[in-house]
Amino acid sequence: MGSYVETWKGIAFSVGRSERWCRYMARRPQDPLPVFKVGGIVRLTKPDLDAWLLRQRDSSQARSVHPELLAG
């Protein structure tokens, strides 16, 4: 992956998930997948993706250590 990925298909390939999952994660209200459009083309930058994946990992680890966070 260069400095960015274009298209839902490319984004899905880069994160190893389906296009449908990527679109869902981009629309979720809390910490969405950090995609943006440039001239109608969806784009995701590598630094944004890396930071997002790190937040997801940290959030997942916090929930496994502190199950009470699942309620909130």
Domain region containing 22: 4-71
Whether the full predicted model's pTM is greater than 0.85, yes or no, is: no
Residue 46 and residue 2 in contact, taking contact as beta carbons nearer than 8 Å: yes
Total tally of structural domains belonging to the chain: 1
Stretch 20-43: mean pLDDT? 94
3-state helix, strand, coil in the chain (%, to 5): 60, 15, 25
Residue 43 has pLDDT above 80, yes or no: yes
